[in-house]
Structure 1
C-alpha cells in the first residue's frame, strides 16, 4: 500500500498509439490509425504493400493478388482526385467481386485470401476488391482411380473449379451448396453439396452439425475432415468415401448422398456409404451388367483372399495338417525342408517385405518406383528361397494376397485390408482355424455395430433390404435398379420408371 503509484504520460497528439487499445472490430476513420492497426494485426509482415492516393489508402499482401488485374482494373481506373464516398470508388474500379465491410477482422481475413483493401479517409468501412492470384494447376486424369471407360478428369486443388465441374454435370437448380469456414489460422472453405428434395434432411442436418462443431487451428485436407466427422473415430474401417472423380460424386448426389469438398484438396468426401460400396466403381455402370457383376464378385473374393489366404496357410501347417490334400503334402514338405523358422515367423517376414516394397514404390518417383517393385520383389524373393528363409509356396501365397488387395477401387479400404491381415495372421499362428474364426466374428460384429451418418454400415445385408441387393455385390440390369438405395434415405425413392428405359 506504500508503493509509489506509477504514472503514464499521455500525448494527446499521438493518434496512432491510441489505436492499440481500440477494438479490432471497429475500423478507424483516420488512415494513419488504420495502417497502424493493420501492421499490428499482421505483425509488421514484410509482404504487406501499402499505396496512398490522395485520400485513398490501398493495402494488400504481395503474391496473393493478381498484379496485372490490380494495375489495370484498380490503380489504372482510380481517378487522381479525392473521393468522398466508397460508392464512387466501387463505381470506378473494374472488379466484379467487391464488398464493403465494417468488420476489421473480416477485412484482414479477406486481404490474406487475396483481396485488396481500399479505405477512404473518414470512412468507417473497408472496400474489399477480390482479385486473388489463381495459381492452381490445370485439370488432369485421376491418379488413384483410373478407369478405361468413362470421363478422364479428376478434381484439382481449387474449390471453385471442383464445384463448377459438379454443376456442369448436374444442371439443376436443386443442387445446393452450403459453405463453412474451418480453422482458426487457415480459414479453410468447406462446401457441402446435396440435391434439395432428394437428400435426407436428417443426414444433412447431422453432417452440418458435425462440421460446424469442429474447432481446430487448421484444416489442410479433406482426409483430415473425413476422420473428424466419422460416426466412430476409433474404428479402423472407413465410413465415408474419399474420391477424386467428379462422376463418382455426381452419381452419389443423384442417389441422395452428400458430398463435401475442401479448398486445397483434390479429394472429395461422399457419404453416407455402406461397406459393400467401397468395392464398387463408377465404371461398373459403363459396361454390361454381366461383366460388372463378374468384376464386383472378383473384387469381393479378392478381398477375402487377401485377408485370410496367408492365415489359412499358417494355421494348416501349424495345427491342421489333416486338411491339406495328400497330393500337396510331399511338395509342401520338400519346399519347407530347408526353412528353419515356424510358419508364423516365415509368413510375417514375407508380409513385412511386401509392405516395405509397396511403401518404397509409392514414395519413389513413378518410373523408379515401378522398377523398385519389380526388381526388388524378384531379387528378394529368389534370394530368400535360396537362402532357406522361406518356401516357394508361401511366396506365391503372399504375392497373390498382395495382388488381391490392389483390386479394391478405394485406396483407404485397400490399405485397411493390408493392415488387418497381420492380427489375423497372429491369431492363426497361435490358435489355428479357431483363431481365424474368432477374428472373423470380431470383425463381423464390429461391422454390424458401425454406422455412417446414423445409417447401418452393413446395408443392404443388415438390416436386410432385398430390393437393394440388385445393385450391391452384384449389378443387375438397369430395369432392376430403378430405386435409390435405402441407405441414403432419399426423399424421392425412384430414379426412373423401368418401362421408360427399355
Structure 2
C-alpha cells in the first residue's frame, strides 16, 4: 500500500480505510465526539481489546489532552499496520495525523513444558508464542551482561519480529553478521513460520540431515548459547532455532546433567546406538535371510525357517509392509486426540501384528525386528532427525536386498562420507569426529562434571 497522506475530512479517510481493508465486516469505524471535537475511532473488532479501548477513551473524555499523546501516525499505511496488530487509531476532523491507542488483545498461554522434550528432573517450562516472554525466559536462565539480543523485522506482506540471541565473545562474529545480513534481504520474502526463515538462511547447505535444531526449552537454549551457538526466535512461534549445530547435538538431553555422570554417558550412547540400530536393523534382517542365512546360530535355524517358509513375500517386502504399517499407526496417533491416539497405537499395533502373522503375510521374526526398530527410533527427541531416520532406512533396505552386507556397508560409508563433508555456517556438521578434536569429544559424546571439564581446560 502506498504511503498516502491522510485527508483533512473524516469522510474521505473513512472511505479510504474501508477500501484498504476490503470492506471487511470486523472493521469498526465509529464517528464520535472527543473533547468537543469530531473524531473517527478505527479498530478491528477481532483484534482490539474492547475493555482497554473503553478505558482509554474514558480517560480522554476525563481531560487527557489528545495533543500530548506520544504515538502518532500520518499515513494510511501506518494506520493500517497499527490496526492490524490490534491497536486503535483516532482521527480528528481537520487534522492530518492519527493518535494510536494501545488496545492489543492478549491471549497468552502459560509457558508449559514442551510435549516432545519432557525431562524427569530439571526445569518444566517452555517457550510460548510471545517473543518478548521467550527472550525473558532466556534472560532469566542466563543472567549475564554479555547476553546480546538483536531484533529484526522480516516478511513482505506480514512483518514478523525476529530476535537473534547470542553471547558476545562466545559466538562467532562472522556468523552473526551473515545471519543479520541475510535477514536484511528477507524484507521482500514471504515468511510465516520460523522454518521459512531458517530454510532461507541455510539454503546453501546441501544435505537431507537437519541443518538446525529446534527446541522449546529455555534451559536447553541457554546451554547452547554458552557453547557459542546462536538462537533465532520469531514472534508467534513457540520454539527457538539453534545454529550452527552438529550431528551429535540431536542426541543430547537436559536430563544428562541432572543425574549421575555415568548415567548421562550411558544414555547418550544408548541414543546414538539406537539411531544407528534403527537405521540398519531391518536391512540386517533382509541381508541375513536373503544372502547370509549361515550366520544364524544353529539352535535358531529351525525356528527362523519355520517362521519364514510359509510367507509368500521376499524379506524386503515383509519388512516394507511392516514399516509402512508402523508409520501409518504413528501418523494416525499424532493426528488424533491424545487419548484416542494412544489407544490406536497400542490396539492397532497388537491387532494388526497378530493378524498379519496369522494370515501368513509376514513372519514372527520380522514383526519383532520392526517393533524393536520402532522402539529405538522413539529415543530420538528431534522430530526432524526421526524423519531422516525413516527416509534413509528404505534405500539401505534396498541395498541389503540386492547386495547383502556389502550393500549395508556401502550405504553406511556413503552416509558417513556425506556427514564428514557437510558444513553448516562454516561449522563442520560431524564435529568433533570430523575434523577430529579429542578435547571436544569429551563434551560432545561424553558427559562430565562441569568442574572437571573446567580443570582439564586449564
Which shows bigger deviation, 471-480 or 341-350? 471-480
Query: What residue is the counterpart of 1:436 in the other structure?
Result: 408
Query: What residue is the counterpart of 1:494 in the other structure?
Result: none
1:465–1:99 Cα change, 3 Å: farther
Query: What residue is the counterpart of 1:181 in the other structure?
Result: 153
- Secondary structure (helix, strand or coil) at the match of 2:148 reads strand
Larger Rg: 1
How many Å apart are 1:231 and its aligned residue? 4.8
Matches within 5 A, 1:172-251: 172-214=144-186, 218-232=190-204, 234-251=206-223
How many Å apart are 1:449 and its aligned residue? 2.0
Query: What residue is the counterpart of 2:270 in the other structure?
Result: 298
Q: Is the 1:232–1:450 contact (alpha carbons within 8 Å) kept by the matching residues of 2?
A: no
Query: What residue is the counterpart of 1:376 in the other structure?
Result: 348
Instruction: Determine if the alignment matches structure 1 residue 31 to structure 2 residue 10.
Output: yes
CA RMSD of aligned residues (A): 2.3
State which of 27, 34, 44 in structure 2 corresponds to 1:48: 27
Encode CA deviations 1:22-74: one digit per residue, 9 max, x unaligned: 953433343333223222222222222123322433211112111111101x2
- Secondary structure (helix, strand or coil) at the match of 1:191 reads strand
Query: What residue is the counterpart of 1:79 in the other structure?
Result: 61
How many Å apart are 1:417 and its aligned residue? 1.0
Paired with 2:160 and 2:19, the residues of 1 have a C-alpha distance of: 23
How many Å apart are 1:177 and its aligned residue? 2.2
- Count matched residues: 454
Matches within 5 A, 1:423-462: 423-462=395-434
1:173–1:123 Cα change, 3 Å: farther
In structure 1, runs of 5+ residues without a counterpart are 1-21, 91-97, 483-496
- Secondary structure (helix, strand or coil) at the match of 1:76 reads helix
Which shows bigger deviation, 241-250 or 230-239? 230-239
State which of 365, 368, 371 in structure 1 corresponds to 2:337: 365
- Secondary structure (helix, strand or coil) at the match of 2:115 reads coil
Q: Which has the higher helix share?
A: 2
Paired with 1:209 and 1:323, the residues of 2 have a C-alpha distance of: 57
Instruction: Determine if the alignment matches structure 1 residue 337 to structure 2 residue 316.
Output: no
How many Å apart are 1:150 and its aligned residue? 0.7
1:319–1:45 Cα change, 3 Å: same
TM-score (norm 2): 0.93
**Which runs of at least 4 in structure 1 moved beyond 4 Å after TM superposition?**
80-83, 215-218, 231-234, 497-500
1:282–1:120 Cα change, 3 Å: same
How many Å apart are 1:444 and its aligned residue? 1.4
Paired with 2:326 and 2:79, the residues of 1 have a C-alpha distance of: 53
Paired with 2:85 and 2:266, the residues of 1 have a C-alpha distance of: 49
In structure 2, runs of 5+ residues without a counterpart are none
Matches within 5 A, 1:251-270: 251-270=223-242
Which shows bigger deviation, 363-372 or 103-112? 103-112
Q: Is the 1:231–1:454 contact (alpha carbons within 8 Å) kept by the matching residues of 2?
A: no
Paired with 1:32 and 1:82, the residues of 2 have a C-alpha distance of: 25
Encode CA deviations 1:207-232: one digit per residue, 9 max, x unaligned: 22233323666433223333332254
Instruction: Determine if the alignment matches structure 1 residue 66 to structure 2 residue 49.
Output: yes
How many Å apart are 1:303 and its aligned residue? 0.7
Query: What residue is the counterpart of 1:57 in the other structure?
Result: 40
How many Å apart are 1:357 and its aligned residue? 1.0
- Secondary structure (helix, strand or coil) at the match of 2:114 reads coil
Paired with 1:110 and 1:351, the residues of 2 have a C-alpha distance of: 51
How many Å apart are 1:360 and its aligned residue? 1.0
Query: What residue is the counterpart of 2:136 in the other structure?
Result: 164
Query: What residue is the counterpart of 1:19 in the other structure?
Result: none
Q: Is the 2:282–2:370 contact (alpha carbons within 8 Å) kept by the matching residues of 1?
A: yes
1:143–1:438 Cα change, 3 Å: same
Instruction: Determine if the alignment matches structure 1 residue 420 to structure 2 residue 392.
Output: yes
Matches within 5 A, 1:273-284: 273-284=245-256
Which shows bigger deviation, 220-229 or 238-247? 220-229
